[in-house]
Amino acid sequence: MARAEGTATARRAEQALAGIAIPDADDVRGNVTLPTTVAAAPGAVVKWTSSHPDVVSDQADGAIAAGVVRRPPAGADPAEVTLTACVTVDATEACREFLLTVRPAVKLAPFSRYGMVNFARSNSQAGQQIYMATSVGNDPTRWVAVNNGQMVLQSTKGMHAVRDPSIVRSPEGDRFYLVATDLNVDGTAYGWKGWDWAQSGASRYIEVWESRDLRTWSEQRHVRVAPDEAGMAFAPEAIWDEAIGAYVVYWTSSMYPPGTYYTANRNDPNGRYPLTRNQTLYTTTRDFVTFTPAEVMSGRPGHGTLDAAIIKDDEDGSYHRFVTDRISTGVGVTTYVPGCAIDDIYQERSTSVLAPPEDWELVRGCITHDAMNTTYAEAPMAVKANPGDVRGKGYYLWADQKWADAPAGDHMEEQLSPYWGKDLSSGEWTPITWETPDYNLANGVIRHGHVFALTQAEHAALRGADLSSVSVRTPPATTVYAVGDSLDLTGLTVTAGYTDGVKDEVLAEGYGGYSVSGYDPAISGTQTVTVSYTVAGVTRTASFQVHVVNVSGSKPSATASSSNRPI
């Protein structure tokens, strides 16, 4: 086989490889996508070779594609890996190298706070943007709006408005992806034509942002996920699926025959009328840049699904899917849950994210109507309670619902209301009250969104607070060590202050909390151990002293100090 050396065939082979890109190659923190085909060379297969397959794999492992990343341990140096892609075109081979910098792993500090993302108001372009809030302490029923209640992110693509946002944290812990619906209700300047159009001819795109610290966000990405036959792409969510080594991104679409289209003329034989039932579609991705073709996740004949939300049960490894039993759209659609006469939330369980519909077991149906006599519910979202949560061990569930005693009244449309359950397996949910964030334009009505767990540093970054001070309130109980002993941090108490006046009296250790450095068990004498804490890229330090002695050495007392200079 000839190698590429400037011939026309060689140039075609080289051009075939030119379209390959590995996002964030200089800052790899998770699995990467290694395409095996390229559009410029139909039928050709791209072969990959890794200089360090123990760090970035170049072979598939069952259902898990090549490109699996194993980051160096926390505290180690980044790893440099060269990936070589080769493709053969007309018996001529061309190769291209990609240099990857793989960041060391992080060990997350315990989650002790919450964040929330929503849109603020329907029928308003300013209200249909990204709004965020942070919890008061470790309580996801008490909230303070971020950015003084103003929007945090604004869509400048597609319909120039977004709804139904959700955030997923990477399994490695140090990257976040935000996805949202591309929809502008009443935004006629951007294509709005009414609710029939919204479910038969609307955007097939979702909007994507990403962040490493919840303070700084990437440029918006406008990503096509739904096929031509889809009427829309509503309420995208994402979950990491370890079985395939990728994220599963799923949303609601109504599906229509090929060649049909939206038209206001209901007599057009190719028009998309009557509306069809809602189904749940999905795609997979590793980077929220490259996505696989859409497939149906849940489309039981005769039943509609809207606003699915999936959460993993850490107790038994199963997955629970909360779904709106959608009967108000489509012809001949009946409730999946017998006896539930309204669009309401049901809960089902399976052992796999991508299990077929028949492998999902119904746990509980008609959740909100049975609990609160609701007349409509959609947009479920669920989150596991943090360690130390004010309600203890359990889960929270929210639903965007209408009910007789709604605080803002029925005229304000449906509004989120929370529930509490001690576990997922029982399907038992009890309504609770909450203090909502004061979003601009919301008038107290909180709409479709997502709640997610945070570390202390992430909470500060999200609420816009800068780090002003770090101090060691009490040094560790053990401050004298024999040569060779490991450092024992038992009893160490680190505090932090922020520019918004909030103070964390007890910081946790780990990524998103404090870290320590400077201790060497092989060197005898007095050592200064540095305590570092970083919020949104700004690090401040404090310190304490320990003493490493020979067995016969003396035992001096410990001291602590702090430095509040950013580094």
Does one domain contain both 79 and 155?
no
Please state the pTM of the whole predicted model.
Answer: 0.95
pLDDT at 564: 57
Report how many domains make up the chain. 3
- Could you tell me if 381 and 485 lie in one domain? no
507: which DSSP letter? P
pLDDT at 551: 77
- Per-residue pLDDT tens digits for 112-137: 999 999 999 998 999 999 999 999 99
Residues 7 and 147 in one domain: no
* Spatial distance between the Cα atoms of 2 and 10, rounded to a whole number of angstroms: 9
Residues 81 and 200 in one domain: no
The answer to whether position 526 is within a domain reads yes
Under the banding of pLDDT at 50, 70 and 90, the label for residue 353 is very high
Same domain, 443 and 490: no
Domain that holds residue 544: 466-563
Segment 161-219, tens digit of pLDDT = 999 999 999 999 999 999 999 999 999 999 999 999 999 999 999 999 999 999 999 99
Strand partners, 209: 178
Task: Tell me which of 428, 460, 492 is where a domain ends.
Answer: 460
pLDDT digits (tens, 9 = 90+) for 536-551: 999 999 999 999 998 7
Percent of residues, the chain, with pLDDT higher than 90? 88
pLDDT of amino acid 91? 82
Residues linked to residue 238 through DSSP beta bridges, in sequence order: 249
Give the CATH number, domain containing residue 61: 2.60.40
How does the average pLDDT of the chain come out, rounded? 94
Q: What would the mean pLDDT of 434-441 be, rounded to a whole number?
A: 95
For the stretch 304-326, pLDDT in tens is 999 999 999 999 999 999 999 99
Residue 466 has, within 13 A of its CA and on its CB side, a CA count of 7
Given 3-state DSSP classes, what are the helix, strand and coil percentages for the chain, each rounded to the nearest 5? Answer: 5, 40, 55
Residues 11 and 157 in one domain: no
- Side chain identity at residue 253, one-letter code: S
State which of 460, 493, 516 marks the end of a domain.
460
Q: C-alpha distances in angstroms, 338 versus 322, 323, 342, 363, 366? A: 16, 15, 11, 13, 9
Pairing of strands 493-498, 361-364: unpaired
- Report the pLDDT value the prediction gives residue 388, as an integer from 0 to 100: 98
The model's pLDDT over 29-81, given as tens digits with 9 standing for 90+, comes to 999 999 999 888 888 899 999 999 999 999 999 999 999 999 999 999 999 99
Q: Give whole-number Cα distances, 326 to 76, 374, 446, 495, in Å.
A: 51, 15, 21, 49
Same domain, 181 and 295: yes
pLDDT band at 411 (very low <50, low <70, confident <90, very high): very low
292: CATH: 2.115.10.20
- What burial class does residue 284 get, using C-beta atoms within 10 Å of its C-beta: 0-12 exposed, 13-18 middle, 19+ buried? buried
Q: Which of 418, 438, 460 is the last residue of a domain?
A: 460
Task: Let me know how many helices (H) and strands (E) the chain has, helices first.
Answer: 4, 32
The CATH number covering residue 522 comes to 2.60.40.3630
Residue 107 lies inside a defined structural domain of this protein: no
In a domain, 108, yes or no: no
